[in-house]
Amino acid sequence: MEAKYDVLAIGNAIVDVIAHCDDDFLVKENIHKGAMNLVDAQRAEALYSAMGPAIEASGGSAGNTAAGLASFGAKTAYAGKVASDQLGKIFTHDIRAIGVHFDTPALDDTPPTARSMIFVTPDGERSMNTFLGACTELGPEDIDEDLVASAGITYFEGYLWDPPRAKDAIRRAAEISHANGRSVAMTLSDPFCVDRYRNEFLELMRQGTVDIVFANESELKSLYQTASFEEGLDAIRQDCALAAVTRSERGSVIVSRQENHHVDAMPVEKVVDTTGAGDLYAAGFLFGVTQGFNMADCGRIGGLAAAEVIQHVGPRPQVSLADLLAQSGIAD
């Protein structure tokens, strides 16, 4: 059966609150630079009060990937939990407005919609402080069997392993996807996330629950507890059918049990904000896979999307990625 959607993305539905700061601020507030730090409601309020002028934008890792896919012109759906509050309405409006199908039932009131205070330092690095809120309520009952069955690829973020019930939701989605001859992809999300769930992530890969894995170099090394990038590549090649590993300005490497492709990074005039770089790389790569591109070109399309998003503030594309791809010559 032909897929109704190219990709279904499942993730933590989060509204990002983005502000610039210097490194001294991170030290003062005891924020781990470059990582996603989980915070409670009290800490979230304190950080919000301490941050300077900010931009509010719908985010969340898988939500950003869904936005990128839609910008490429992919048929895209999203599943994630929000509350019926102001931020929940903002998230719902934003993701639907860009052409993504989203109908996960909202919570009546509490806990509130998730938000992430993101501090961007002058080097473009982002440090995220996330209050999960309503995301913790995502469970198996929110997995629409028909929706999963109709998606060519079901993609989820590793951050979903933090809210306990989401694990069951993902396992159910994977079962449905594979039962219908579809594929499942995940991103490792963050080296600290990998540290928390290393054994579970490896189990997902080795048992075939996940077919495609996205990681950056730090996450790969954390997963296999090695200082050697090459050792990490050799290991992940044995553990999953396909992996795409990003290396910032050094591009990306795509590995399978049969292939190995090194892809150069796309040129960037100035790095402004790295928020969403990995998410948009995944969007481009998955778009390439669903449209039948070869693996090297999938990596190039991912690099194209990542290069666009890091040249402005915010985790979602500000121009048509479909137009960028047409101008790039990759699709010729």
pLDDT of residue 323: 96
Cβ(149)–Cβ(184) under 8 Å? Answer: no
pLDDT of residue 55: 85
Closest CA to 160 of 274, 79, 53, 243: 79
* Mean pLDDT of all residues in 119-133: 91
Closest CA to 112 of 142, 128, 132: 132
pLDDT of residue 110: 80
| Site of tokens 């579809």 | 182
d(CA 292, CA 301): 12
- Element housing 129 (H / E): strand 126-131
* Mean pLDDT of all residues in 71-91: 95
pLDDT of residue 37: 87
CA 23 remoteness from chain centre: 25
Inform me whether the pLDDT recorded for 321 exceeds 80.
Answer: yes
d(CA 1, CA 196): 38
**What domains appear along the chain, each with residue ranges and CATH number?**
5-12+61-105+139-328 (3.40.1190.20)
What is the DSSP secondary-structure string of 133-166?
A: GGGGG--GGG--HHHHHTEEEEEEEGGGGSSHHH
Q: Predicted confidence band at 230 (pLDDT cuts at 50, 70, 90)?
A: very high
The torsion defined by the Cα of 106, 112, 113 and 115, in degrees rounded to 10, comes to -170
pLDDT, tens digit (0-9, with 9 covering 90-100), for 1-25: 688 999 999 999 999 888 999 999 9
225 CB neighbour count, 10 Å cutoff: 12
pLDDT of residue 253: 98
pLDDT of residue 162: 86
Cβ(273)–Cβ(312) under 8 Å? Answer: yes
Cβ(170)–Cβ(164) under 8 Å? Answer: no
Percentage of the chain with pLDDT > 70?
A: 99
Inform me whether the pLDDT recorded for 109 exceeds 80.
Answer: no
Helix axis angle, 229-239 to 191-206, nearest 10°: 40
Q: Predicted confidence band at 58 (pLDDT cuts at 50, 70, 90)?
A: confident
pLDDT of residue 274: 85
| Site of tokens 């719902």 | 92
Q: Predicted confidence band at 163 (pLDDT cuts at 50, 70, 90)?
A: confident
Residue 136 token pair: 């913790």
What is the DSSP secondary-structure string of 163-231?
A: SHHHHHHHHHHHHHHHHTT-EEEEE---HHHHHHHHHHHHHHHHTTS-SEEEEEHHHHHHHHT-S-HHH
pLDDT of residue 29: 94
3-state DSSP call for residue 273? coil
